[in-house]
Amino acid sequence: MSASSYASSVLIIVSGMLLSGCFSSGKTDYNQQAKRASLSDLANKTSSEQVAAVEMSQQQRSAALAGIYQQLLTLEPDPEVRTHVEYRLAQINTESFEAQSYADLGDELTDPTQADSQVVAQLSKNDAALQQLIEQYQQLLQRYPQRAENEHLRYQLAKAFDLQGNLDASLAQVELLLSQYPQTDYLAELNFRRGEIYYNLQNYTAAIQAYKQVLTANNNHKYQLNSLYMLGWSEFKLNRLANADNAFLQVFEALVANQQNTPQVASLTADDFAFEKLGSRAQNLAIDTQRVLSISLSQQLQSQSLVALVNDNQSLPYIGLYQHVLFANLATFLLDKKLNHDAELTYQAYIDLAPDNIWAARFSLDLLDLFQQQGKFAAMHQLKNDYVNQYGLNSAFWLNASTAHQSELLPNLLSFSDEHSRRLYANAQTLQGNERINAFAHAATALHTYLQLAQLPLAKPLLSKDIIHDQYLFADANFEAKQYQAALDSYYAIAYDPTEAEVTIALSQIQQQSAYATTVTIRELITQQSPNATEVVTPLVSKRNQLDKQFIKQYPQDERALQLASNAAQYSFDSQDYVSLKYFTDFVLQAHGITPLTENTSTVQTASPLSDIARKQVQFVSQLYANSLYQQEQYAQAEDAYGLALQYTNSSTTAWSEMRNLLASSIYFQAQSLKQTEPLLAVNQLLRVAQVVPESQYAVNAELDAANLLLEQQRWQQAIDVLKPFQKQYPNHEFSAAIPAKLAQSYEALGQWDLAAEQLLIIVANEQPGPLKREAQYTAAEYYLKAGDRNNALTTFRSYAKTYPQPFDVAQEVRFKMSEFYRQSGEANKQYYWFRQILSFDRQQWQSDANAIQARQVEIASIAAFALGEAEQRSFAAIKLNAPLQKSLKRKQDAMKKAIAYYQQVLNFQLAKYVPHATYNLAEMYRQLAADMMNSQRPSDLDELALEEYEILLEELAYPFEEKAIDIHMSNTQRAWEDIVDQWVDKSFIRLAEMSPALYQKSELTHEVIDAIH
């Protein structure tokens, strides 16, 4: 059916339905009439009212009323009444015409879309009646042009012309009606009639305007759907395809909206929506609209235009339900036209538009079929991959999908992901370098995707093979891609996790291979995360040890188990996992028939001869185990372990030498652990080092340590017995330099002072200048003194005094000792020499650092100065004053000056022990000089008078000295007032009493003075 014929049919049906309207608009002119029934009131009553007395049909009633009103007109009533009668009669005639025309159509006429040939045939029988109605309408309009009822009358006239097929006349009436009554209640219907007429006249622009007027009019629901449809056709006829497309979308919206009250339609979703599921009357319109829309889109940019259309109309309430239908129809239309590529683009356009819609997945399969038909294998592969990525387990679609959708997708997801993963794996095997690594990474990702799908409960009935093979491929792919953690997890799951698969030889082989692969993979993982061998990744190391143990325990007969255990032992040692190291060591030893060492082992164990490989394995793990015990300071067990390892080690190798040295070290440190608690037992262990491993460097250290330990325990003679042979055997050893001090200590403890001094002088001879050398020489001299060897003591002290002026205090003591040596030997001059040395160095010290001079050094200097003063004083006293006086007096005064200088130093030192004595001696020298002058030899050639004058001269010369002596004695006695009283102060008092008796030779007043005071 064409658009124009369909529109005409609809118009006829609608016109017929609306001819039954009444002249209600005249009602307002009679509102103020008397309260009696008027003709107008009758005209406004509905024609369906029943007369109570007689039951009549609608047709019978219309005929009866028409006769009555015809009779009224013959009576020539009032013009107003006549007018009402004539209008009422036109209404009755219209009702009668309708009743006669549609008597046989029944309820089918309730839907204006049900126009058909039956209606046309019925109408053709009433042309005469219709013409009479037209003439009646025209006469009334001509005679009463201003009547309010004319709106409805002209409406009926327009429909009547339309029924006659007189479109121009009908259009004229419609246009006139709209111009006179722009707000008419028939606005929607009249514009729809205008649109139909203009469309039939091919005036599509005018038709569009009319249809748009329908869509904006009130109460337009009867015409809305057809107006939208015809609006689209009108736009299409004008080649305004985009506008047409939008109108057709509105048709779809209206079709769905009109049937939302139908339960089977309201329950439809986008998943299962199709226009065929709408009511039968809507289906035809929907089918035709879909067809013309596809035609329109094909004349544009096809899928691009459809995508733009859908995007621009996303605000439509129902477009989400049926938009996939539009794409499907367009693709089908294009395929019918052999436009396969454009159809592909259409499917792809929807997939891109709504990728998370189930229809995108369905269209992907349609698109896949198209690719397959055309042999586009690369495109097929890509589409399958996109399908898996878009709808697989990790997709947003799958997470939100219903169980039904998942069940629908899963078979294809399994098939596509399996195919893709195997293709990638095979391709990766052909590559090298980084390309290979990257390719295997992609293959692993694809295999992971497949395995995730295959392990779903929904997938179980869909699988045709055991997935363990794919799991192994997945593990291998990750390994080749250097994705070691993922590979490790997969290998482990295959090897050790429970499986529901039937245990077969093939499955066991895969499990065993996977178990070994875990040990290889964990090592790669450690290397990857810690490329620096000195670093330790503790959790990974623990995992590696666990995996090694699992493999060894699960497959002990596997030829790789021994090598694995050896390697694992090394790793365990490096990570200080000693428990694991013991486990792996015991495994290797037992595998070769050797009983493992235990904590209670006391002797080295032996075994039957082994092959070279076995011997190396035993030597390797036992050495590692021994090293671990050594590191844990379990030296007794380490000694046994090294003994075992040495049995399987070639004595010409470096390992032999190293282990021998570690064996010696183990014994050595056993001794060290006993030093505090059992020192003598420690000495035995130390001496055992040289017995067991004499070539070891520890032997030398052990002997010296043993000697030191003996010294600590004051086992002097035993220490000497160790040290002396050592000193003799290793004279140039670095430790030998310390032996003289140790021997000296031992000899000293034993009271063998001369032997101790000899060792100290060895230190002096070999030691570089410094405190130790100086102390050794001083101590050696002291030891010679203790031994009674005066000559060696003197020689050693003399050497010290000349070599070490510092420290000052010690040097002064040594000089003093030297003076004592000569005092004892009666060699006064040598004694005085050292006294002068003492005073000389004292002066130097005062000048350089007076703070370094302590009380002892002051005393030593005082002793020296006093002794030298007395010596000079004795020289002074021994000189006789002979004539001529001046010569002998000069010598005597010179001696006195020297004595005074020394005594002055004593006074300067200010030691109370020596100052009074020195002061007294000074006074006595002045007194002695005066007395000696008075007793000096007189010249022999003087006469008596001259001699007398000479005597007077002597008195004049001696008097000042005597006065000086008195002053000095007096200063000495002043110390009594300072509570310094000794014999020399007392002697000064006595001397003063002799020299000045008037002042000092008086009796003490005691009671008399006290009494006088009181």
Phi, psi dihedral angles at 918 (to 5 degrees): -60, -40
Q: Which of 522, 612, 614, 635 is nearest to 575 (CA)?
A: 522
CA distance 282 to 279: 5
| Rounded average pLDDT over 577-601 | 83
152 within 8 A of 21, measured Cβ to Cβ: yes
Q: Between the CA of residue 177 and those of 87, 168, 234, 751, what are the distances in Å?
A: 18, 14, 24, 154
CA distance 996 to 933: 19
* pLDDT for the residue numbered 37: 40
CA distance 910 to 66: 173
Q: Kindly compute the dihedral angle of the four CA atoms of residues 130, 131, 132, 136, in this order, to the nearest 10 degrees.
A: 100
605 within 8 A of 646, measured Cβ to Cβ: no
- Over residues 960-995, the pLDDT tens digits come to 888 888 889 888 888 767 776 788 888 888 888 888
* pLDDT for the residue numbered 139: 75
**Residue 135, pLDDT above cutoff 80:** no
- Over residues 521-546, the pLDDT tens digits come to 998 988 888 766 545 567 887 888 88
516 within 8 A of 560, measured Cβ to Cβ: yes
**Residue 48, pLDDT above cutoff 70:** no
* pLDDT for the residue numbered 27: 35
Average model confidence (pLDDT) for the chain?
A: 80
* pLDDT for the residue numbered 103: 54
CA distance 405 to 270: 13
* pLDDT for the residue numbered 65: 60
**Residue 743, pLDDT above cutoff 90:** no
| Rounded average pLDDT over 759-777 | 79
| Rounded average pLDDT over 81-108 | 58
**Residue 327, pLDDT above cutoff 80:** yes
Q: Between the CA of residue 930 and those of 329, 924, 954, 966, what are the distances in Å?
A: 159, 10, 9, 11
* pLDDT for the residue numbered 1012: 32
CA distance 479 to 489: 11
| Rounded average pLDDT over 955-959 | 77
Of residues 463 and 301, the one with the higher pLDDT is 301
800 within 8 A of 778, measured Cβ to Cβ: yes
* pLDDT for the residue numbered 184: 84
**The two structure tokens encoding residue 1014:** 């009181």
361 within 8 A of 387, measured Cβ to Cβ: yes
Neighbouring C-beta atoms of residue 227, cutoff 10 Å: 29
* pLDDT for the residue numbered 323: 92
Kindly report which listed range (54-68, 290-304, 678-692) carries the lowest average pLDDT score: 54-68
**Alpha helices (H) along 592-653:** 612-631, 635-647
Q: Between the CA of residue 109 and those of 12, 17, 98, 105, 186, what are the distances in Å?
A: 11, 7, 12, 6, 20
Residue 436 contacts by C-beta under 8 Å, 6 or more apart in sequence?
428, 480
- Residue pointed to by tokens 């021998």: 660
**The two structure tokens encoding residue 792:** 């060696």
* pLDDT for the residue numbered 1010: 29
CA distance 198 to 61: 39
230 within 8 A of 213, measured Cβ to Cβ: no
Neighbouring C-beta atoms of residue 52, cutoff 10 Å: 6
Q: How many helices (DSSP H) and strands (DSSP E) are in the chain? A: 47, 0
Phi, psi dihedral angles at 638 (to 5 degrees): -60, -40
CA distance 264 to 273: 11
| Rounded average pLDDT over 942-955 | 74
Q: Quick one: what percent of the chain has pLDDT higher than 70?
A: 83
Q: Kindly compute the dihedral angle of the four CA atoms of residues 439, 441, 443, 444, in this order, to the nearest 10 degrees.
A: 160
Q: Which band of pLDDT confidence, cut at 50, 70 and 90, is reported for residue 52?
A: very low
- Over residues 803-843, the pLDDT tens digits come to 888 888 888 888 988 888 888 888 888 888 999 998 888 88
- Over residues 337-370, the pLDDT tens digits come to 999 999 999 999 999 999 989 999 999 999 999 9
Of residues 734 and 309, the one with the higher pLDDT is 309
Q: Which of 147-161, 638-652, 753-767 has the highest mean pLDDT?
A: 638-652
What would you report as the CA-atom Rg of the chain, rounded to the nearest whole angstrom?
Answer: 70
* pLDDT for the residue numbered 34: 34
| Rounded average pLDDT over 63-71 | 60
Phi, psi dihedral angles at 269 (to 5 degrees): -120, 175
785 within 8 A of 793, measured Cβ to Cβ: yes
Of residues 912 and 425, the one with the higher pLDDT is 425
* pLDDT for the residue numbered 372: 92
**Residue 45, pLDDT above cutoff 90:** no
Q: Quick one: what percent of the chain has pLDDT higher than 90?
A: 21
CA distance 388 to 75: 92
Q: Which band of pLDDT confidence, cut at 50, 70 and 90, is reported for residue 19?
A: very low
**The two structure tokens encoding residue 34:** 């008397």
* pLDDT for the residue numbered 974: 82
CA distance 1008 to 1014: 10
* pLDDT for the residue numbered 729: 79
* pLDDT for the residue numbered 89: 60
Cis peptide before 884 (omega within 30 of 0): yes
Instruction: Give the number of residues written for the chain.
Output: 1014
Provide the terminal-to-terminal Cα distance of the chain, rounded to the nearest Å. Answer: 171
CA distance 898 to 908: 15
4 within 8 A of 200, measured Cβ to Cβ: yes
CA 432 to chain centre: 34
**Residue 616, pLDDT above cutoff 50:** yes
**Residue 153, pLDDT above cutoff 80:** no
- Rounded to two decimals, the pTM is 0.52
From the number of C-beta atoms within 10 Å of its C-beta (0-12, 13-18, 19+), residue 1 rates as exposed
**Residue 751, pLDDT above cutoff 50:** yes
* pLDDT for the residue numbered 41: 46
CA distance 700 to 938: 89
**Residue 14, pLDDT above cutoff 90:** no
Kindly report which listed range (72-86, 372-386, 554-568, 903-917) carries the lowest average pLDDT score: 72-86
Q: Which band of pLDDT confidence, cut at 50, 70 and 90, is reported for residue 328?
A: very high
Kindly report which listed range (15-29, 392-406, 416-430, 623-637) carries the lowest average pLDDT score: 15-29
| Rounded average pLDDT over 61-89 | 59
**The two structure tokens encoding residue 739:** 């032996």
Q: Which band of pLDDT confidence, cut at 50, 70 and 90, is reported for residue 778?
A: confident
**Alpha helices (H) along 19-78:** 39-44, 58-74
